[in-house]
Amino acid sequence: MYKKLKFANFKNIKAQEINLSLGLNLFCGKNGAGKTNILEGMSILSGWGPLEKGLENLVTWGSQIKGAVLAGQTEENDIVEAHLATKTSFRFCEKRINATELRQKIPLLMFLPQDMELVEGSAVARRRILDIALSLIVPSYAYRLSEYRRAIKQKTIILKNTKNISPTQTSAIDRATEPIAEWIWSMRSTFVALLAEETVKNNLCPYPLTMQYVKGGTIYKGQIKNKFLDAVELQKQRELRFHYPLVGPHRDEVLLITEGKMARAFLSRGQRRRMAISIMLAVTDIITRKLGRTPILLLDEIMSDLDGEAREILLRELGQRGGQICASTTGVEEELAKEAHILQIVDGAIV
């Protein structure tokens, strides 16, 4: 966990020391005060990328300095630094370290407001949750996922830019992609099974939940082809027609089912939010068990669309969990935050 933070020239955050505690830390303030920026800084400082591309979005507006520096002190008094210039570089105890290594030293999960929509939103949100978790549990996962995405990008270019393309022109890419796609499918399938079991253990999920993992593009007109190359063959003519790869992990889906119906259609908005948070906490618990240590948990705008009862359940659940949790909210009732360390932020400064 981080016990101290200090950011220099980073967005609207003032250069002051921010003290954090074990357990629940609540950053409270108006929209635009800097709550999300602090969480983003912590995420970058733990080896993850910024929320937006481009250095100009990270440096304090109007600053003459071209870079930013983020620093943190861990519970073990290790000093971590992230230098944001033309590229991002990291130091851990004064030694250079890459992002993958840093993520293993300081495991961290950040859930954004769009993750709150993982029940009613598109499959992209559900795939993102799987990818973040697996990148922490299996260090090679992020690299192999990047390899897969490069292959799909290459295949997409061929499908879009080649006139009168024949099915054989993408076959070499398909054969090279097969072992990576099958490995990612195996990793995701195993994780979804664990996630389904873990989600029912906390008190936030409003109804019993079933999860069904569907490999992208393996089903067409009632036919099911579980092997990558078999599914590609099934979809080959459609790929040529649509000029886009239709088979693989980039099209995976996780179906969320409750009471025999799709959760997004059965639940109210508030209930969908509760289910989303339940899934996020279950992801955290799986990572804790696999790594043998609790990741820092960042939750942005966590109270959004939750009624009073759901807020009370959530804060009680967070207050009882181990590790360090940092959450942002525009406001929280005092009686619901007795177990939290409150940090009020105004115009980028803790007051």
Evaluate if residue 333 carries a pLDDT over 70.
no
pLDDT tens for each residue of 303-323: 776 777 777 777 777 777 778
Higher-confidence position of 163 and 78: 78
Q: Give the pLDDT of residue 312.
A: 77
Q: Give the pLDDT of residue 4.
A: 94
Q: Give the pLDDT of residue 271.
A: 84
Name which of 23-27, 153-157, 320-324 the model is least confident about.
320-324
Confidence of residue 264 (pLDDT cuts 50, 70, 90): confident
Q: Give the pLDDT of residue 270.
A: 81
- Rounded to the nearest integer, the mean pLDDT of the chain is 87
What dihedral do alpha carbons 183, 186, 190, 191 form, nearest 10°?
50
Confidence of residue 64 (pLDDT cuts 50, 70, 90): low
What does the radius of gyration of the chain's CA atoms come to, in whole angstroms? 22
Evaluate if residue 149 carries a pLDDT over 90.
yes
Name which of 246-250, 262-266, 334-338 the model is least confident about.
334-338
Q: Give the pLDDT of residue 335.
A: 55
Higher-confidence position of 110 and 147: 147
Q: How far apart are CA 286 and CA 338, in angstroms?
A: 27
Average pLDDT over residues 31-57: 83
Q: Give the pLDDT of residue 113.
A: 73
Q: Give the pLDDT of residue 332.
A: 67
DSSP track, 260-329: TEEHHHHS-HHHHHHHHHHHHHHHHHHHHHHHTSPPEEEETTTTTT--HHHHHHHHHHHHHS-SEEEEEE
Evaluate if residue 124 carries a pLDDT over 80.
yes
Burial per residue of 150-189, b for 16 or more beta-carbon CB atoms within 10 angstroms, e otherwise: ebbeebbeebeeeeeeeeeebeebbeebbebbbbbbebbe
Average pLDDT over residues 282-296: 90
List the one residue out of 329, 347, 168 whose CA is nearest residue 240. 168
Evaluate if residue 337 carries a pLDDT over 80.
no
Contact status, residue 180 vs residue 148, Cβ threshold 8 Å: yes
Evaluate if residue 54 carries a pLDDT over 70.
no
Q: Give the pLDDT of residue 48.
A: 85
Q: Token pair of 83, please? A: 């230098």
Q: Give the pLDDT of residue 199.
A: 86
List the one residue out of 292, 299, 350 whose CA is nearest residue 42. 299
Q: What predicted TM-score, i.e. pTM, was given to this entire model? A: 0.83
